[in-house]
Structure 1
C-alpha cells in the first residue's frame, strides 16, 4: 500500500478528549475516527490489525473443535422474555420497535440466541459436547464509554458457547478453552496478561475467569497475593480483615448535629472510621430498596451486593430511601422498615463491637452498636428473610489474604477476555433439551467464552508504546515493512524504491510504502506513529554506498546498513525468525 493513497491521515496533536495513550495514538495515527460517544469507525490500518487478531482467534477456536456460526445482531422481545432478561438485563440493552411496532433488542450478548439455535439442532447425547462461536458486532448502551476502543457502545467480540452432558465434561472443556486463550494472547503478542477469578454477574453460573492486560491505565482493580499466587477481580476479592473485638458496651443514642459523613462523625465522636458502620443504599431494578452496611473505613462493592440479593442494583432514589425507613446521613440497621426493603450486613459489621451507626433519625446516631445483640437477635421470623449477612467489602492493598494472611497487592488491568460456567440456567429457562442414553430428557450444561476483539488492539498498544507511537507485535501489525523513500526528486532513489516495493510485494511481504514527497523528519514521525515493526530507508546518502538502512520500531537492535541486493534475504530471514517466536507457544 502506498501512503499517498492510504485512507487515514496522521495528526500531530492529541485530541483534547482522548484520555489514555492508545486512544490518543490510534486517533493520531489514523487507525480510527469517532462518530459519537463510544462509537468509532475503523480505518484500513486498524482493520488490517483486527483482521489478523480475528484470524488467530479462529485458528485457536477451530483447534478446540469450535464451529463458527453467525447469529443475528437483533432479536425479538419474546426471545429475551424466555429467560426474564428483557426486564433484568438493565439499560445496557438497547430496545426499539420495528416498523410493525414489534418490540426488539440489539443483542448485547448471545446466550438466548445460541440456545434458541441449539434447541433446533440438538436432539441426542451423541452430539455432545459441542461448541459454537461467532465473531460479530455487538451493541451495549454503555453509560460511560471511555478510552477509545477500550470501552465502547458498539464493538466486535468473539463469543463462544459450549454444551455438555455432565459437569465434569464442562470443566474439562473449560480448562481446554482456558489453555487456548493463553495461546491466543501469546500469539497476538500480549506480554503482561494474567487470568484472574471473576464475578459471573448477569450471566449466571458458579465460576468464571477474566483475562486481564496489566497496565497502569486499566479500569479494573485486581487483587493479588504474591505468596498464594491467587489473583481476582476486586468484585470477588476477599480478605480476612483485621477485626478489633472488645467487651460490649451499652447501646446509646446520641445527638450528632449535622454529622452526615463517616469522616465528620468520626471527628465528632473522637473515634476512628473503623469504629463506625457505613450505609450505602441501592434499589433493585424492580424498585425494592437494598440498605447495605460495611465498616466505616471500607467501601461497598456493588457486584457483591447484587450477588447476595440476586438482582442488579442501582443507586436508590430518595423515594425508595424513605420507603426503607432510612434517613439520609443517619442510616442504621435499627428502625428500618423490613416490610419494604432488604438489609445486607458485611461480615466486618457483624464481627465488630461497639460501632457508631445511624439511628434513622435526623442528627442522631447510635454508639456501641453490636449487630448480633442489637439487631440480628431482635428480628421476627419474616424479618430474617429480609436480612442477609455476607461479604460486600472492597479489599485494599495491604489487607491480609484470606488464605495465608500475607498482605495483598493491587494492580490495574484492562479486561481482554472472559470465560464463564453457565450451568443449566438458560437451557432450562428456554426448554432446550436432548435425550440421554436411556431416552430420558436432559438439559445440556453450558459454558460461555468471550474475547474482546476490538478491545485487544488498544490493550496491546497500552502495554507496548512510547511517546512517538505504538510498538506493535509482528503478528498483528497492519504491515510487516515500512519502506521510506527519501528525496523523491532523486531519480535513482525513486526508481530503486519502486523496484524494491514491487519485489517485496510480489514475494508476499506486507509493505507500507511512503512514496510521498515529504521531508525525512515527517516520514520518520509518521512511521513511528503507525508502528510497523521493520523500517527500510532508501536515501541518496545510503544509495551512494549501495545500501539501505534497516531500523526496528521496538529498538531491540541498533539501525544498520544492509546492501541493496541483500534486502530481501535479510528481511525474509528476520521476519521468519520473528514469526516463529509466536508459533507453538
Structure 2
C-alpha cells in the first residue's frame, strides 16, 4: 500500500479525552475515531490489526474443535425471559422495541441465542460434544465508558459455547478452551495469566479470567511469579488427549483477581514469588452446567434413552480490547511496537527523496519484490521531510523500517531498522531482503 493513496489520519497532538497509553496511541496513529461515548469507527490501520487478531482467534478455536457460526446482534427479549436473565442483567442491557412493539435487545452476549439454536437441531448424545462460536459485535451500556476500546460500550468479541452430556465431558471442553486461550495470547506476544474470577451475570461455578499484566489495568491481581514463565502448549498439542496435566500446571500456582483474592492463601506463597500488579482482562471462560439448558429445554437423549439437559460452558475473548491490551504491553515513548503476528503491515518502506531516480526505482523494485513474497508493505512515497516520515513509522509501530536514501543507494545499500529494539543496519539490498524473509 502506498501511503500517498492510503487513509491514515495521523494526529500530532494527543486528544484531551485519552487517559491511557493505548487510547492515546490508537487515536494518534489513526486507528480509531470516536463516534459516541464508548463507540468507535475502526479506521483502515486499526481494522487491519483487528482482522489479524480475529484470524489468530479463529485458528486456535478451530484447532480446538470449535465450529464457527454467526449470530445476530439484535436478539429477542423473549429468549432472555425464558432463561430468567432479562431482568437480572441490569442497565447494561440496551433494551429496544421494533415497529410492532416487540421487545428486543442489542446482545451483550449470546448464551440464549446459541441455546435456542442447539435445542432446535440436536436431540441425541451421539451429536455431542459440540462447541459453536462466533466473532460478533456486542453492546453493553457501561455506566462510565472510558479508556477507548478498553472499556467501550460496543466491542468485538469471540464467544464460544460448548454442549456436553455431563459434567465430566463438559470439563474436558473447558480444558480444551483453556489451552486454546493460552496459545491464542502467546501468538500475539502476550503473557496472559489464567486467574480465578467472579462469574458475574454469566453464572457458573468454574471460571477463569485471562489477565495481561499492565500498569493501567482495571483491577488489582495477585499471582505466583512462576506463572510468567510457564511453557505454552505447542502447535502439536493433542486437543483430544488428556489436557489435565497442562491445566494442573497452571492452576496449581496462586492467581486470582481482586474479587476472588484469598489473603491467607497468597501469604503462603514465598515472598520472593509474590506478584501484586494491575491487570487487563482479555478473556473469560465459564462452566455453568445446566443454567441455560434446563429452563430453555435444551435436552438430549442419553445412551439409556432418557432425556437430560446438556451441560454448557461459554468462552469469551475480547477481540477489539486485545488491540489496546497489546499496545499497553508493547509501546515506547515514540509510539506502538507491534508484534509481527498482528502488525497492520510488516514493513514500512521509506523513500527519503521522492523524485530522485535511484530512490524511486529502488523503492519500486523493493515494493514489488516484497509484495510478491507475501510481505505486507506500507510504502511512504510522500514528499514530506525525513523527520516526519520517521516519526510516523515509529508511531504506527511496524516491526521493520526499510529506508532508501541517495547516500546509501550510491553504495548499493539500504538501511534496515527493527522497531522493537531500535537497532539499525546498513545492508546490501539482497541482504536486507533476506533479513525480511525474502529469498531468491
User: Secondary structure in 2 aligned to 1:429?
Assistant: coil
Q: Residue 156 of structure 1 aligns with which residue? A: 156
Unaligned runs of 5+ in 2: 227-251
Select which of 444, 469, 475 maps to 2:341: 475
Distance 2:67 2:142 in 1: 30
Distance 1:66 1:97 in 2: 33
Select which of 559, 572, 575 maps to 2:437: 572
Residue 428 in structure 1 maps to residue 294 in structure 2: yes
Distance 1:409 1:505 in 2: 45
Q: Residue 15 of structure 1 aligns with which residue? A: 15
Q: Residue 113 of structure 1 aligns with which residue? A: 113
Query: Residues 77-88 of structure 1: matches in 2 within 5 Å?
Result: 77-88=77-88
Q: Residue 438 of structure 1 aligns with which residue? A: 304
Report how far residue 403 of structure 1 moved: 5.6
Residue 563 in structure 1 maps to residue 416 in structure 2: no
Q: Residue 36 of structure 1 aligns with which residue? A: 36
User: Secondary structure in 1 aligned to 2:297?
Assistant: coil
Q: Residue 50 of structure 1 aligns with which residue? A: 50
Distance 1:108 1:561 in 2: 52
Contact 1:483 1:536 in 2 (8 A): yes
Q: Residue 211 of structure 2 aligns with which residue? A: 212
Select which of 381, 401, 405 maps to 1:515: 381
Report how far residue 226 of structure 1 moved: 5.5
Contact 1:225 1:406 in 2 (8 A): no
Q: Residue 232 of structure 1 aligns with which residue? A: 256
Distance 2:275 2:362 in 1: 56
Contact 1:199 1:207 in 2 (8 A): no
Contact 2:186 2:192 in 1 (8 A): no
Q: In the superposition, relative to structure 1, how do residues 533 and 226 fare at CA in structure 2: closer, same or farther (>3 Å)?
A: closer
The structure that has the greater radius of gyration is: 1
Cα deviation digits, residues 397-434 of structure 1 (max 9, x gap): xxx73766979653110100011011101000111111
User: Secondary structure in 2 aligned to 1:442?
Assistant: strand
Q: TM-score, normalised by structure 1?
A: 0.69
Say what the alpha-carbon RMSD is for the aligned residues.
1.7
Report how far residue 464 of structure 1 moved: 0.5
Distance 1:538 1:404 in 2: 54
Distance 1:416 1:94 in 2: 23
Contact 2:343 2:399 in 1 (8 A): yes
Q: TM-score, normalised by structure 2?
A: 0.91
Structure 1 segments of 4 or more deviating over 2 A?
A: 223-229, 400-410, 564-570
Q: In the superposition, relative to structure 1, how do residues 419 and 536 fare at CA in structure 2: closer, same or farther (>3 Å)?
A: same
User: Secondary structure in 1 aligned to 2:86?
Assistant: helix
Report how far residue 573 of structure 1 moved: 5.7
User: Secondary structure in 2 aligned to 1:528?
Assistant: helix
Q: In the superposition, relative to structure 1, how do residues 435 and 513 fare at CA in structure 2: closer, same or farther (>3 Å)?
A: same
Q: Residue 167 of structure 2 aligns with which residue? A: 167
Select which of 536, 540, 547 maps to 2:413: 547
Question: How many residues matched?
Answer: 413
Report how far residue 569 of structure 1 moved: 2.7
Q: Residue 282 of structure 1 aligns with which residue? A: none
